[in-house]
A and B are shown apart, each in its own frame.
Chain A
Amino acid sequence: MLGLNKKDTTLLIIVVIMTMFAPFILNPFPETSQLAQFNAGYPDLMQRFVIFGIFAIGFNILFGLTGYLSFGHAAFLGVGSYAGVWMMKLLTMNVIPAILMSMIVAGLFSILVGYISLRRSGIYFSILTLAFAQMSFSLAYSVLTPITNGETGLQLALDDPRILGVSQVAGSIPPASLFGLAMRDSYEMTLGGWAFTFNVGYYLCAVVMIVAFYIAIRIFRSPFGLMLKAVKSNQQRLNYTGVNSKPYTFAAFVISGMYAGLAGGLMVAMDPLAGAERMQWTASGEVVLMTILGGAGTLFGPVLGAGFIKYFENIFSKINDTILHQWFAALPDGIEDTLVFLIHPFIGKGWHLTLGIVFMLVVIFLPGGIMEGIRRIVDLFKRRSPKDEVSGGAVPSAKAAE
């Protein structure tokens, strides 16, 4: 179907089902229960899951296929965001021009960065991209304040022109919308103790992610993708056989830059503000973590990794001591306090610590990321030797993907 083989079709269908039913899947606990703390099915986080999923899918096209480790991908996301907000300020609150312009601007910027950075490979390439990203961050943070609004972040104002739309509706900024469907509109469904939220913005992001995922599958399976894998396995040999590998890596770089721009555009479509921090090196590092955690070079791994990290960032960071005390309230005071004391460093602002430990465990015991873990579990049940598995699943990242 759609030019995919059976395995890939299944994978695509799994992704479609997971994204479409995410409001159910992510809200497994009833509203009133203690465990409702762990529900992730609210619009903002669901949007983040898929948007960072797109970002990671794009990053994986570069890193997973060619092995070029870019440490500056957040710059493209940031540039895309600024372009998107400007479209909303100048043209219209319809998200289509904003998203398209984000991709175009990020693409152009990645042509510039890629042209220079791809002259080197390995660690030098990483450093060059890192330098570019930090440079963009500093520019956005201070020198380019008229364009980026510096530290505050670029946001909409009541007196923006919006020549194709309206500046304001009854004294407030019109919401970002898709032909009249406001991104922040939600439909809430209550089923017994459960509440599920279906958000317009989320479904737009989800559809875009499915398309992005489909394109990524096609790239992975194409002769072009094969050439990129050849670059990863041994670029020197490829060059000696007379193949000029540079156009291939360059194209992969620009494609993944545009994916990042798309993610940036969607971010502002969901929440029309572009902060300079999203270009900082920590943001670039985050997407590297996502990809490695999920499984570099696998199709679905980066999406899982993105979800995993965003879940930690948004759910674990909100657990505070009061909530811990509630959980352990049934225990005797002394034990309760000890438990809270022991868990305290790992929750709230300590979520980085928890994530760090999980990351270390994954890298040490599952070098292929979460996808390798899933594959091992599947193998366990199928009782087949791992050699038979040639799925769109995981292979340790040290080897060529799939």
Chain B
Amino acid sequence: MKTNDVIFQTVAKVVFFMIIFFAVRIFFAGHYYPGGGFVGGLLTSGAIVLLLLAFDMKTVKKGLPIDFKCLIGLGLLFGAGTAAGSLLFNVPFFTHAYDYFQLPLFGKTSLHTAMLFDLGVYFVVIGVTMTIIQTIGESE
């Protein structure tokens, strides 16, 4: 039976971006409030899975030409790189730095190097989740 999923596909296109923006919001909330790279990463992969359900693997691959296994490497690079940055300043491994900045539009903002580590977690979570889902999906 061929299903007609025009409504699903149209909604998915919009909802995809809503989930992504929410993921970004959750990601940046992570330093002081619940959230962070892990949850943000899961939400983002949730959004991609939605696209996979609405369309098919080929279409999604065309839209997002990313090798998710490389994304794991990239995430690890961010994580290990942030931690190893402390080697340059001769402070204990994993020590993070932060300061307050006056940014246009945002006003007084605190910027942390811990965010870069969290970005690494974000990438690794997307990479691992999508690799697992793709591997299972491909065999069908």
Pairing of A with B? no
Please list the residues of chain A having a beta carbon within 8 angstroms of any beta carbon in chain B: none
